[in-house]
Amino acid sequence: MSTPAQRALDLLAGRPATPPVCLQTYLSLYLEPHRRAGLAAVYRELLGGEAERVLDFDERIEAELDAWERAWSVLARPPTWMPARWSPVSRGQLTRIAQHAGRIVAGPHGGELADVLDAPQGSTTDVWDRRAEGQPLDADAVAPTWDPQAAIDAGATEYALRAQARWGEQHLLYGSAGGPFWSAYASLGFAGLMESLRADPAALAAIIARHAETVCATVEVWAAAGVRCLFVEECFSSSDLISEADYLRFSLPAAREVLQHARDLGLRTVYYYCGGIDRRVEHLATLSADALAFEESKKGFAIDLAEIRRIVGPERPLLGNIDAVLLRDAERGTIERAVRAQWQVAGPLLATSCGSPLTLDTPAWKLDALVEATENLAAAR
């Protein structure tokens, strides 16, 4: 029997995997509390009773890998793929770890230390409008480009390279990137993005083009890191938010550029399209993504895998969109029925998944049950 990684690659190449595979999305979000707990445990062991210690670049990378291995171990039947990440520090940077009042704290050497379990992890604040009042939009200012080779030289790929060496034979490691239209939200905010569609479409097109450059640079770093798959998330261009004409002008061409760049670099791609899909699927079918993924039906729109399969045809791999809340609340039999129902309308080029990230209160055994029900589909072929 081939390895799980090879089965995932088979599916993305348009060949049915035997047994079928589960490619649950956003695993790093679900496993983040376990990763933090694992990292605190690893740091405690490295301290060995000492009050504090300084880790160099290599020691920090190995600690992060050990922490992820502990997080992953909460799953008895892990999904076929595994998210990779960029190195959390650059070459030459030191990390100080310490025990403080029974808690493990860490941070840059010479900088402020934060509780490993409770430290902030990126932004959780929605951005409404980043436009400067009375100032024209300037693509150079709001969407600067950067040099992927400089990031590679600084060690950005080291974590993923070592993760590939540890787990790549069994699990398909994948990198992540946001689509260029969705990335423009970071520059403009939601109101800034939506209003610019009408108020300053030429400037918005220039900003999206700059983001396409930066996303392509991100793809180059992932390729240098040795990962074989790219997960691209696209938000805010769906039929419940913008018109088909705006989608065809501002979103689709930039997504096409990124996905083709990834293909040219030898990466398989999964394109996750968030939101309503009316007057979208026929356009998505023209992209070079190896697999398409969608949300579950919610927020007033319906996403029917049977209809998607009818439009994209039998040869395009799809990811399932089982309701994440259903999985959280389901018993084993309900999970098995949900998997079979999606397989009947979209298989055999289907990888099972929920349509949204798993909620943090989903018991790990339910994700295990999703994987097991997926693999048991082989007996029903």
**Confidence (pLDDT) at 349:** 98
**Confidence (pLDDT) at 248:** 98
Residue keyed to tokens 């790219």: 230
Q: Sheet of 52-55: strands edge to edge?
A: 52-55, 95-100, 103-108, 114-115
Burial of 28 per CB tally in 10 Å (0-12, 13-18, 19+) = middle
Rounded to two decimals, what is the model's pTM?
A: 0.96
Specify the CATH number of the domain 4-30+143-380: 3.20.20.210
Distance separating alpha carbons of residues 267 and 259, to the nearest angstrom: 9
231 CB contacts (<8 Å, ≥6 apart)? 25, 83, 174, 175, 176, 177, 269, 270, 272
**Confidence (pLDDT) at 125:** 63
Q: Which two tokens stand for residue 190?
A: 């939601």
Distance separating alpha carbons of residues 17 and 12, to the nearest angstrom: 9
| Coil, helix or strand at residue 244 | helix
Distance separating alpha carbons of residues 171 and 153, to the nearest angstrom: 26
On whether the CB atoms of residues 182 and 234 are closer than 8 A, the answer is yes
The H or E element containing residue 111 is none
DSSP class of residue 250 equals I
Distance separating alpha carbons of residues 129 and 274, to the nearest angstrom: 21
**Confidence (pLDDT) at 299:** 83
Q: Which of 342, 340, 345, 290 is nearest to 316 (CA)?
A: 290
On whether the CB atoms of residues 320 and 351 are closer than 8 A, the answer is yes
On whether the CB atoms of residues 37 and 29 are closer than 8 A, the answer is no
Task: Give backbone dihedrals phi and psi of 293, rounded to 5 degrees, phi first.
Answer: -135, 150
Q: Which two tokens stand for residue 33?
A: 């509390």
Query: Helices 252-264 and 180-199 sit at what angle, rounded to 10 degrees?
Result: 160
Number of C-alpha atoms within 13 angstroms, CB side, residue 105? 14
- Percentages of the chain per state (helix, strand, coil), in multiples of 5: 50, 15, 40
Question: How does strand 268-273 pair with strand 291-294?
Answer: parallel
Q: Residues 190-224, buried b or exposed e (16+ Cβ, 10 A)?
A: eebbbebbeebeebbbbbbbbbbbbbbbbbbbbbb
On whether the CB atoms of residues 160 and 175 are closer than 8 A, the answer is yes
CA distances from 319 to 122, 198, 341, 350 (A): 27, 34, 13, 6
How large is the greatest C-alpha to C-alpha distance in the chain, in angstroms? 64
Domain segments of the chain as ranges: 4-30+143-380
On whether the CB atoms of residues 65 and 159 are closer than 8 A, the answer is yes
Q: What is the pLDDT along the chain (381 residues), one digit of tens a residue?
A: 689 999 999 999 999 999 999 999 999 999 999 999 999 999 999 999 999 999 999 999 999 999 999 999 999 999 999 999 999 999 999 999 999 999 999 999 999 999 999 976 655 567 999 998 888 999 999 999 999 999 999 999 999 999 999 999 999 999 999 999 999 999 999 999 999 999 999 999 999 999 999 999 999 999 999 999 999 999 999 999 999 999 999 999 999 999 999 999 999 999 999 999 999 999 999 999 999 999 999 888 899 999 999 999 999 999 999 999 999 999 999 999 999 999 999 999 999 999 999 999 999 999 999 999 999 997 655
Q: Which two tokens stand for residue 114?
A: 């934060």
Distance separating alpha carbons of residues 141 and 341, to the nearest angstrom: 49
The H or E element containing residue 28 is helix 27-47
On whether the CB atoms of residues 96 and 106 are closer than 8 A, the answer is yes
